[in-house]
Amino acid sequence: MKQQRSGSHSVYNLQVHLVWSTKYRYQVLTGDVQLRCRDLLRQTCNVLDVQILKGVVSKDHIH
């Protein structure tokens, strides 16, 4: 069952596909930086009550 949120006059279910890419595709999300970034994103999502369905840090993102 999908989790729905509600406001005073609405019911909604938002889903977002987020792609974060650095300028010129520099590969900066490696090693400790990759782990720290992942931890910060998870902490922020927990605080904001956002559910992560899938998370991947890949070398290159191609549509």
For 16-45, write each residue's pLDDT tens digit: 887 777 777 777 778 888 889 889 989 999
Query: What's the DSSP call for residue 59?
Result: S
Q: 4 and 11 in contact (C-beta within 8 Å)?
A: yes
Give the chain's largest Cα–Cα span.
46
How much of the chain is in helix, strand and coil states, percent to nearest 5?
A: 30, 5, 60
Distance CA 63, CA 55 (A): 16
Nearest partner of 50 among 18, 11, 10, judged by Cα: 18
Weakest-pLDDT range from 30-34, 41-45, 51-55, 57-61: 57-61
Q: Is the pLDDT of residue 1 over 50?
A: no
pTM of the model: 0.58
